[in-house]
Structure 1
């Protein structure tokens, strides 16, 4: 594939594990771990919802076509998407969760619990967050650490990964964390920092869910994310982001 008349290369995200560049209507993903790329390509092929078209793959690069529409929103910023768009996102997630499981596993409950303990210890030992904030959110997170029936999960369903055009979902991107997982984890990541849209998402999802478990995943995800964000040059203390999510549980 030859791209002509390209005016600029946009760096979408870049750190020492992976980088994503946008060149016109093509996204180039470069990943040091080709296992993640393997998962992404296979998950997109299996998912029953709109995903980016794979244009070509030449390790370590993967070229994907841009999906139409705009992101549902971004963490730390108000979403301008309609309640119907949020409900459509919930419906798309339900369709994914009802699909056959992928052949590879996801993280086990024990792995998640062990990582949570390690991250909480690190946050306190390094004075990154107040002890009472970590302790309270660790208590809240406990509700997520229960057995669940595995479903086909996206695994990193941030609102910036869901694209809509009006009230229709046009594409879901970034599938490298897909696998077996807890359905409520996907719903929690989709609504992280946007609690006001949880009702719309659940309405679109179309079944009763345990809201306390979703809130527990908000705490758990935020506790796990802080160190990684800091070490990769991101700021979890930005307004509306992970640390504010943790504070909201106090």
Structure 2
């Protein structure tokens, strides 16, 4: 019998792996609805849905391995990172999905959330005030008008699988929808700044790098407290707090 592996688990959802099957348990069925719908229309490789019986979604494991991990080395070659950029561009060029995703929050709402989170980080003694202030200044460049694209919404490097230089699939689509394309690119390259050029080369169009830097700061500021409260360590080497420090 295959071993049961806990991939990720917190109060909102859990993912287990048994052999070549992933079991996603989510109390919020709306997230699963978004995920299944997005995978069915995304023009990039996605996992095969085996069955769904709320609150569980079963999907088949992808060939290959994650391109890398936040806080760890990339297992991919420059060509693999460029192939990832090309796959992301294909997604962003696709017809818009019906929903607004995580990457599509309004500038006004996002700025208000960011200011509130920065205040909490400083008042709670989680991060130094100068670190928060500097990154809040950097984050400002992300708060601008953008053209909606089909975005993944949580395109962490661990969510893109590759076999050699071939992209074999993208997982975890529960935050997908219309949004800012540069949010996806920033999320994907977070903590791996050395590969941003490879990704942009594969993406195939001019990118405002200052906005990518802004999203690195903004995203990190918004998640540090949540990660700390849910059993993750944003202070680990190469993770979110190191990303914030790199902007100083």
TM-score, scaled to structure 1: 0.97
> What's the offset of the Cα at 1:80?
2.3
**Helix, strand or coil for the counterpart of 1:113?**
helix
Given candidates 10, 13, 19, the residue that maps to 1:18 is: 13
- Runs of 5+ unmatched residues, structure 1: 1-5
**Bigger shift: residues 106-115 or 197-206:** 106-115
- Runs of 5+ unmatched residues, structure 2: none
Determine the structure 1 residue equivalent to 2:179: 181
Determine the structure 2 residue equivalent to 1:121: 119
Q: How many angstroms apart in 2 are the aligned matches of 1:95 and 1:75?
A: 24
Determine the structure 2 residue equivalent to 1:221: 219
Q: How does 1:1-250 map to 2 (within 5 A)?
A: 6-106=1-101, 107-250=105-248
> What's the offset of the Cα at 1:7?
2.5
Q: How many angstroms apart in 1 are the aligned matches of 2:188 and 2:148?
A: 18
Q: How many angstroms apart in 2 are the aligned matches of 1:42 and 1:80?
A: 30
Q: How many angstroms apart in 2 are the aligned matches of 1:242 and 1:154?
A: 20
**Helix, strand or coil for the counterpart of 1:181?**
strand
**Helix, strand or coil for the counterpart of 2:58?**
strand
Q: How many angstroms apart in 1 are the aligned matches of 2:35 and 2:108?
A: 24
Q: How many angstroms apart in 2 are the aligned matches of 1:34 and 1:113?
A: 28
Runs of 4+ in 1 over 4 A off after TM superposition: none
TM-superposition CA deviations, 1:85-118 (whole Å, max 9, x none): 0000000000000001110113222221121111
The alignment covers a number of residue pairs equal to 245
> What's the offset of the Cα at 1:193?
0.3
Q: What do you get for the CA RMSD once the two structures are aligned?
A: 0.6
Q: How many angstroms apart in 1 are the aligned matches of 2:238 and 2:174?
A: 25
TM-superposition CA deviations, 1:151-202 (whole Å, max 9, x none): 0000010010000001010000000010111111100011000000000000
**Helix, strand or coil for the counterpart of 1:52?**
coil
